[in-house]
Amino acid sequence: MGIPPNPAGMCVDCIRSQVRRPAAEISKRASPPKTHGRATHPTRETGDERVLSFSSVLRSRCERARDCASFFLASCPPSRPPDCPRSPRLTTHPLDTSHENIRHVSQVDITEGIQKQCTVLYCKECQRYLQPPKHWIRADLESKELLTFCIKRIKGLNKVKLVDAGFIWTEPHSKRLKTKLTIQKEVLNGAILQQTFVTEFVVEWHMCDACSRAAANSDQWTACVQVRQKVEHKRTFLFLEQLILKHGMEANTIGIKSQPDGLDFYYGSRSHGLKMVDFLQNVVPVRARHDKQLVSHNANDNTYNYQYTFMVEIVPICKEDIVVLPFKVSQGMGGVGPLMLVTRVGSSFQLTDPHTMKQNWMDAAQYYRLPYRSVGTAKMFVEYVVLDIEPVRGAGRGQSGKWLLADVQVARVSDFGVNDNIMSARTHLGHHLQAGDTAMGYDLASLQIVDPELEKYRRGLALPDVLLVKKSYQEKRRRRRAKGVNRQWKLQRLDVAEDDVGGHKAVAREAERAAMDEELFMQELEEDEETRAQVQIFRDDAAGRPENGDGGDATDDDDDVPEVPIESLLDGLSLARGAARHQHEQHDDGEDDENDGDHEMMD
């Protein structure tokens, strides 16, 4: 008689123990039921013991084992099969590879119940995707953020294990996104089946509420950030523009409008305006105040619509300006000054005494307690020729970072061939100047400084005749441009709406001033490594080649003209802008933020 199969995965010892049990134990645990004249199981007599037939005992025990096996396989995880009652070790049996079992496994589809086609909403104006219910997120094509967004939209993935995921390339204009997913699932007595399938996403264009309002009425804004600085140039805004682009702060703006003394940023949400104000406070010394104006009122639910205005005023102190400190401020800084040079500007600005090399930092809060104005700006620079320079000796005095205190003799470039006026001064540019170099500075002898704070200082205070600010490369730059050596880099610019008010002459005059400010800002980027490290500079592939045949090589005298290193240039504008947006943009607050500022409940 053939032995039935082993459905419970029993070991050989267990099978033998079930078959070769003593007749007494079998009779006790498997005695036949009482019947009237006939037995249920076939029996045979051996002495005084009644022993069940071998085939019936084995068949009944195999049926019970089969029931136990189905219970264990349904309740135990595939990594831990049920232990054998008699075996001291866990015995894992391989999957049955019979033809019938393989054919049954091949017919199992573990992707059944998983969504194969989805629809996503995309706003082509602001390039964001709708994450239900009302959040809009920004993600580039084939990026990790977009892949995560797509996987979360697929229904039924929580029932399987996701092993791998990736994009399948589609045409950019096809409005289709395809993902290739690999999943695993347990089937057939603990076997793990792995399958790969493709999910298609149909991209539908849908304008978000913010873009819809902007398209209907471009002047319909909720928050306006007005940035102002009362100075004669806009170099501070050129630097601020590069910081905004680097950190992606222009992403949520509805519009940017130029003003005579600053910029206006318009937003569709109050939270976006507050975010811009916080950013400005971290990069430039400012003070801010805000106001709101009632637009509409709903008496039914007692809600109010407001327009918020944030006024951000930048300290009217710029790099390379000279200031006269108030007497109280000078005493609080240890008696420095009164004439100080602004050497660095960030969230606070640095004041340096060019005669003692003492440096102090001042933030916006300290400045506005006792405000003061600049008595000299870069517009008043005079070009000098260095005749002789000698560092100041004595106990290491005068050394501070990259500056070195030195005595210098200079003469105006305009005085050459006219007079023999030679002026002596003390400067902090001992590391940078040599005899024969040219430098830019202030002619304090001809500059009339009228400030009532000077009268509060001790009597007999004498100001120097010259205050040198930086080394000049004007003549060398003119020679390089004459040879056709142009800049091989460019800067990214914001899309700013200009206010064409005042006629053609005023517009032309404003354009000329803007071009001059941009040239000075680019020269500052070439000369100052610390400022250059804070902005993104891109390679200009369309830059013109030099007209002469020397490949643009300058003479030996022009080799020391500072330039932007080639290794610090970025390749393209689009890639850099997308990366900056991804670094700074995360889940947008969407309509929650808009409702936060647009509707307020009255107490």
Higher pLDDT, 225 or 396: 225
Going by pLDDT thresholds of 50, 70 and 90, the confidence category of residue 148 is very high
Cβ within 8 Å of residue 318, ≥6 positions away: 231, 233, 235, 236, 342, 345, 374, 377, 378
From 146, 178, 207, the end of a domain falls on: 207
Give the integer Cα–Cα distance in Å for 263 and 396: 46
pLDDT of residue 551: 42
Look at residue 511 and tell me if it is in a domain. no
pLDDT digits (tens, 9 = 90+) for 557-593: 566 777 888 877 877 644 334 444 444 444 444 444 4
* Same domain assignment for residues 129 and 170: yes
Least confident interval from 43-52, 374-383, 511-520:
43-52
Q: Is the pLDDT of residue 259 over 80?
A: yes
Question: How many CB atoms sit inside 10 A of residue 4's CB?
Answer: 14
What is the band of 453 on the pLDDT scale with cuts at 50, 70, 90? confident
Q: Domain residues for 88? A: 12-93
**Res. 600: pLDDT tops 50:** no
Q: Residue 302 domain-assigned?
A: no
pLDDT at 287 over 60: yes
User: Which pLDDT belongs to residue 428?
Assistant: 86
pLDDT greater than 70 at residue 46: no
Question: Among 207, 228, 261, which residue terminates a domain?
Answer: 207
Is residue 89 domain-shared with residue 112, that is, in the same domain?
no
Indicate whether 84 and 123 sit together in one domain. Answer: no
Q: Is residue 298 part of a domain?
A: no
pLDDT value, residue 229: 93
Q: pLDDT at position 41, please?
A: 45
For 336-348, write each residue's pLDDT tens digit: 878 899 999 989 9
**b vs e for 412-421, b when ≥16 Cβ sit within 10 Å of the residue's Cβ?**
beeeeeeeee
Q: Are residues 342 and 466 in the same domain?
A: yes
Cα 346 to the center of its chain, rounded Å? 20
Tell me the residue type at 323. V
Residues 6+ apart with CB under 8 A from 4: 58, 59, 62
**Looking at the structure, do residues 337 and 466 belong to the same domain, yes or no?**
yes
Lookup: tokens for 266: 């318009």
What's the whole-model pTM score?
0.65
pLDDT exceeds 50 at position 423:
yes
Same domain, 359 and 437: yes
Whether residues 435 and 334 share a domain: the answer is: yes
**79 and 123 belong to one structural domain:** no
Please indicate, yes or no, whether residues 139 and 160 belong to a single structural domain of this protein: yes
pLDDT of residue 27: 47
Domain count, the chain: 3
